[in-house]
Structure 1
Amino acid sequence: MDLRQLEYFVAVAEEGNFTRAAERVHISQSGISAQIRQLEHDLGAILFDRSSRIATLTTAGRAALEHARAALTSADAVRQAVDEVNELIRGRLVVGMVTACAATPLFDALSEFHLAHPGVEVALIEGHTDLLVERVRAGSLDIALVGTATAPPAGLETLPILSEGLVAAVPPEHPLSSRRRVTLAEIGRHPILCLPEGTGIRTALDLDFAARGIRPNIALQASDPDAVADLAVRGLGVAILSESMVTPHDDRLRKLRIADATTPAVLALVWSTDANPALREFVRYSRKVFA
């Protein structure tokens, strides 16, 4: 008796017909009949009543069916467990990261994961949030660290990491530099320097301006927050970034609170609900380091 014979037995029992069962398991009718006869010989009992066109289980067949299904389920579980171990031995993990985000805990998680599972190939790809989310949904990325200002992307698992408000940054000689707090309307009278569309901070900025009916003058955009800060230092406009992005430039820029900017910029990990073993393990490391 082997698993293949049990699979054929269950197929005939569920189909009630040798021909349909043979089609289901991709074998000839004569082949499945021979395997069932061999199984009956091994068990010492007739499993099907063949006196009509319908293959009906005998008493012995009914007694065997539940156990045959359980054996097949257990075999599948063994296969899955081994597959999961193999994926953690020689799998692949593709991680996305929003452009110019120095997320040290993410690097810590990657390091710990690599040390524990050196056989898993790890790839790190940068991009804007919209592109990263699209690639996670498409399956070309396993997980991504993204910036967002709206609800978490639908259909994906999410682990929020950080939530920050927007701030304005200007050089000491700027007309607003003596202020500690400004409004969006006041900022809107000056050229604005910001991150491009598709980033969480830009989305938050656009939502806040739109809510107040303000059409800002977006003078220059750069994907690197440090580049946006450098442009502000040179007097090209008011930089709009998160507080943590401006802090490294406190010696060159004045940080201004935006009184009516209410939409936070959120940094979060997103991944597919259909997680593979390597991804599930990496999420576990990520939860630990980001805690």
Structure 2
Amino acid sequence: MDLRQLEYFVAVAEEANFTRAAERVHITQSGVSAQIRQFERELGADLFDRSSRMVRLTAAGAAALPHARTALAAAESVREAIDQVTGLVRGRLRLGMLVGCTVKPLFAALAGFHRAYPRIEIALTEDDSDALIEGVRAGDTDLALVGAARELSGELSSLTVASESLVALVPPGHALAAHDETTVRRLGAYPLVCLPPGTGIRDALDRACTARGVRPNVAFQATAPGAVADLAARGLGVGVLSAPTAADHPELTATPISDAEAPALLVLVWRREQSTVLRALLPHCRRAFGL
């Protein structure tokens, strides 16, 4: 008797069909049948009644089934215990990331994590910050990189990985290009090109405008910072980005927004109850971000 025979026995019992059981355990039907026959010879009893199209358990098979399930569950528990001791954890990592956000340290963390734990499946989704945070709260997402204009609190754990000031991005020759800095009130006189709500940069801008009674004229919204910069370069509005992101577009002039005092934050968030997979990932994130 071995675990493979127990697995095939349970599969046939639950599927009530040798063909479907073979598909479930990824071998041929003849292979499953041969193993079950050998298992029955070792036990000295028939486990299945094969007299009809639907395979049914005999009395001996019905008596054996719960014990077979228990044995397989125990074997899986042994594997999980050994995996955790040796670091060879299995599982699935559900990661969320802000739409249009390219954060190389996060990708570096994932690459290091995958090298260390190649058997863990990584699923990546993109969404706005509010949806990502709700996904973490609901337990649908293990870890999310979100934008925020303030530190997060509550039942979630968080790690701020970037704190960035805001700049106005304009082409050379624009009136704002002649100033060392500008204000949100001055920006109110121009059409703006922004990232959408739910991003840290946009939330920081909206908070600064609200604090000073300014209603921004958002002419264009783009989910990618590069699109914001391109629209600004074409004179369609004043782009608003973070200073590090604006540095990727030297053809434009980046003017600091002096009264946008709350910086745009990039934050990793997760539930306080950490899974084994998440505990394995977080050190890679801290190293990649230099924290």
Given that residues 183 and 259 in structure 1 are in contact (C-alpha distance below 8 angstroms), is that contact kept between their aligned partners in structure 2? yes
Q: Which amino acid is 2:168 matched to? A: A
TM-score w.r.t. the length of structure 1 is 0.69
- Residue 233 of structure 2 aligns with which residue? 233
Query: Which letter maps to 2:206?
Result: D
Relative to 1, partners in 2 of residues 1:88 and 1:129: Cα closer, same or farther, differing over 3 Å?
farther
Q: CA deviation at 1:218?
A: 0.9
> Structure 1 residue 243 and structure 2 residue 243: aligned?
yes
Q: What's 2:135 paired with? A: 135
Cα offset, 1:80, TM superposition: 8.0
Match of 2:125 in 1: 125
C-alpha distance in 1 between matches for 2:214 and 2:262: 15
Whether the aligned pair in 1 keeps the contact of 2:80 and 2:89 (CA below 8 Å) is: no
Q: Which residue of 2 aligns with 1:254?
A: 253
Secondary structure of the corresponding residue to residue 152 of structure 2: coil
Instruction: Kindly report the root-mean-square deviation, in angstroms, between the aligned alpha carbons of the 2 structures.
Output: 2.1
**Separation of aligned partners in 2, 1:113 and 1:177:** 43
In the aligned structure 1, how far is the partner of 2:215 from the partner of 2:140?
36
Percent same amino acid at aligned positions? 48
Deviation at residue 151 of structure 1 after TM alignment:
2.4
Amino acid at match of 1:274: E
Tell me what 1:286 maps to.
Answer: 285
Q: What's the secondary structure of 2:285's corresponding residue?
A: helix
Q: Secondary structure of 2:89's match?
A: helix
Once the two structures are superposed, what CA deviation does each residue of 1:71-99 show, in whole Å capped at 9, x if it has no partner?
xxxxxx99984584699533000111112
Which amino acid counterpart does residue 222 of structure 1 have in structure 2? A
Q: Who wins on radius of gyration, i.e. which is larger? A: 1
Match of 1:202 in 2: 202
SS in 2 for 1:229: helix
Residue 246 (structure 1) shift: 0.9
Match of 1:162 in 2: 162
Determine if contact 2:190/2:237 at 8 Å carries over to the other structure: yes
The 1:80–1:119 alpha-carbon spacing in structure 2 relative to 1, beyond 3 Å, is closer
2:272 aligned with 1:270: no
SS of 2:254's partner is strand
Contact 1:89 1:118 in 2 (8 A): no
Answer whether contact 1:87 1:120 (CA < 8 A) is retained.
no
Match of 2:182 in 1: 182
Classify the secondary structure of the residue corresponding to 1:110: helix
Aligned length: 214
Structure 2 unaligned spans of 5+: 1-76
Distance in structure 2 (CA, Å) of the matches to 1:285 and 1:142: 15
- 1:19-58 equivalences in 2 (<5 Å): none
Q: Please say if residues 180 and 255 of structure 1, whose CA atoms lie closer than 8 Å, have aligned partners that are also in contact.
A: no
Contact 1:136 1:142 in 2 (8 A): yes
- 1:27-49 per-position Cα deviation (integer Å, ceiling 9, x unaligned): xxxxxxxxxxxxxxxxxxxxxxx
CA distance in 1, matches of 2:83, 2:153: 30
**What is the alpha-carbon distance in structure 1 between the residues aligned to residue 154 and residue 115 of structure 2?**
33
**In the alignment, is the contact (CA less than 8 A) between 1:133 and 1:270 conserved in 2?**
yes
State the secondary structure of the residue aligned to 2:216: coil
Report SS of the residue matched to 2:110.
helix
By how many angstroms is 1:146 displaced?
1.1
1:166 and 1:284 map into 2 onto residues whose CA distance is: 29
Structure 2 contact 156–271 (Cα < 8 Å) conserved: yes
Name the CA distance, whole Å, in 1 between partners of 2:203 and 2:89: 40
Deviations 1:145-191 (A, max 9, x none): 11111221421111111101111011113222211211111111000
Give yes or no for contact 1:133–1:153 (8 Å, CA) kept in 2.
Answer: no
Structure 1 runs (4+) deviating above 4 angstroms are 77-88
Residues 210-244 of structure 1, C-alpha deviations (whole Å, 9 max, x = no match): 00011111111111111011110010111111011
Judge conservation of contact 2:164–2:243 (CA < 8 Å) in 1. yes
What are the ranges of 5 or more consecutive residues in structure 1 without an aligned counterpart? 1-76
